[in-house]
Amino acid sequence: MASQVLAATASPYSLAAFAAAGGAIVVWGMVNAVTAIGAMNADLDKPAPAPAVAPVTAPEPPPPPPPAFVFDAPLPGRVINSPFGLRQMPWEENGRLHEGVDIAAPAGAPVHVVTDGIVTRSGVSGSYGRFVEVAHKDGFRTLYAHLGRDAGLKRGTYVKRGTTVAYVGNSGRSTGSHLHFELRNKAGKPLNPALFMGKTFAEKDDLPLKAAAKVGRKVRLAQVSRWPEGVKAQMAGKMAADDEGVVTRVKGGRVRMRINVVDG
């Protein structure tokens, strides 16, 4: 080893070669000799700077991914005054499923789409009145009904969460100014919107699909301030009618009827 070093010292070029070959420890011992020779290799004059040591800090956790599903309320800050579930109208013999929630609001209040989607339908139906339907990812659909007017969005329009799609009204078989809001799964089954409104879900598996599809056995008697137009006339004049929407029954010698009112 010593002879190698001496031999290397004689020629700075071979010294460099020696260092490159792995002789670094020995090289530093020869700096003075090299300097005496005439500092032919200026790079060897100074020791290499100490390697910069990064301050030791805990690695920052990556930011959480955005939630896969975000649902707002269609009328933020307003309360549900008729929930999802079995409900009986005073003019009906039996209860039926109220397939959404009713949210009381003054006519003209803007209705916001609860999550990103595409407008699929808008129009007027006898029971829903003026309505707008929006399709969302994973087959969800939302429906906004009894509207005063829609916002004029054409079918196929992409709407970002929070976009005004319509304005509250009292159209269709409605008994006062409110929004009837429905949420359906990809099979078209109505879900309880209360389990989604104002909530975020990190991933698909977190969606309360089973809980929201459950319908309790309890039948609520709807409190109706005024009966829909024509119901009394229908009861008086069409007792025997059995066309669509009207069911007649004979019970204890009395004719009873049930009118197919989808929503109150």
Judged by CB under 5 A, which stretch of 72-80, 148-156, 172-180, 228-236 contacts Zn ion? 172-180
Judged by CB under 5 A, which stretch of 2-10, 11-19, 96-104, 219-227 contacts Zn ion? 96-104
Strands (E), the chain: 69-71, 80-82, 85-88, 96-98, 101-104, 110-112, 117-125, 129-135, 141-150, 158-159, 164-168, 178-184, 190-191, 199-201, 220-221, 246-251, 254-259
Q: Which is nearer to Zn ion, 30 or 111 (CB)?
A: 111
Q: Work out which of 153, 180, 193, 194 binds Zn ion, going by CB under 5 A.
A: 180
Asked if residue 182 binds Zn ion (CB under 5 A), the reply is no
Asked if residue 141 binds Zn ion (CB under 5 A), the reply is no
Asked if residue 263 binds Zn ion (CB under 5 A), the reply is yes
Determine the angle formed by the axes of helices 2-10 and 12-20, rounding to 10 degrees: 130
Binding mask 43-82 for Zn ion (x = CB under 5 A): ----------------------------------------
The answer to whether the CB of 113 falls within 8 A of the CB of 161 is yes
Cβ at position 227, least distance to Zn ion in Å:
16
69-104 in b/e form (b: 16+ CB < 10 A) is bebbbbbeebebebebbebbbebbeebbebbbbbbb
Asked if residue 102 binds Zn ion (CB under 5 A), the reply is yes
Q: Which is nearer to Zn ion, 34 or 103 (CB)?
A: 103
Q: Which is nearer to Zn ion, 122 or 175 (CB)?
A: 175
Q: How far is residue 1's CA from residue 26's CA, in Å, rounded to a whole number?
A: 9
* Single-letter amino acid, residue 211: A
Judged by CB under 5 A, which stretch of 13-21, 102-110, 116-124, 221-229 contacts Zn ion? 102-110
Asked if residue 99 binds Zn ion (CB under 5 A), the reply is no
* Bridge partner list, 55: none
Cβ at position 256, least distance to Zn ion in Å:
24
Q: Which is nearer to Zn ion, 140 or 144 (CB)?
A: 144
Q: Which is nearer to Zn ion, 136 or 180 (CB)?
A: 180
Judged by CB under 5 A, which stretch of 98-106, 131-139, 160-168, 216-224 contacts Zn ion? 98-106
Q: How far is residue 35's CA from residue 42's CA, in Å, rounded to a whole number?
A: 8
Q: How far is residue 213's CA from residue 193's CA, in Å, rounded to a whole number?
A: 10
Cβ at position 91, least distance to Zn ion in Å:
16
- Residue given tokens 């290799």 in the structure block: 41
* Residues forming the site for Zn ion (CB under 5 A): 102, 180, 263
